[in-house]
Amino acid sequence: MNKKSKDEEMYQVEAVVGGLLRIGVIVSAAIIILGLVLYIATGSSGYPGTTYPTTIASIFSGLAELKPFAIIMFGLFCLILTPVFRVVVSLFTFLKEKDYLYVGITGIVLVILIISFLIGKG
């Protein structure tokens, strides 16, 4: 593969990843806005007092019941997952290009992200 076609391929990959990030942010914002509108319309968070969902399970069970705070938290969860998704896409892109140095670096970043999610859970 010559340099020009490799540069074009990288540009396409960057455009796709940029588009995915943009879509992730827009979808997350739409979900959060939906939760805010529902909160304003109902005047209730869906939870007693000052409590709100803090675990994935409670967010999804609150989503099933259309609780406004659960919808907002789901939007935030999607927003957090957007750059993680970008790391996963980058990992597969580097694998496809056989750029093993960046596969290793991206793999380490992904492992650190996963560990931080598991540690931050408590």
Number of domains forming the structure of the chain? 1
- Asked whether residue 2 is assigned to any structural domain, the reply reads no
Structural domain for 98, as ranges:
13-121
pLDDT the model gives residue 122: 47
Pick from 92, 68, 113, 93: nearest CA to 13: 93
pLDDT tens per residue, range 66-80:
999 999 999 999 998
- 46-68: average pLDDT: 89
Long-range contacts: 42-49, Cβ < 8 Å, 24+? Answer: 42/68, 44/68, 45/69, 46/70
- Asked whether residue 80 is assigned to any structural domain, the reply reads yes
DSSP string across 43-95: S--SSSTT----SHHHHHHHHHTT-HHHHHHHHHHHHHHHHHHHHHHHHHHHH
- Asked whether residue 3 is assigned to any structural domain, the reply reads no
- Asked whether residue 32 is assigned to any structural domain, the reply reads yes
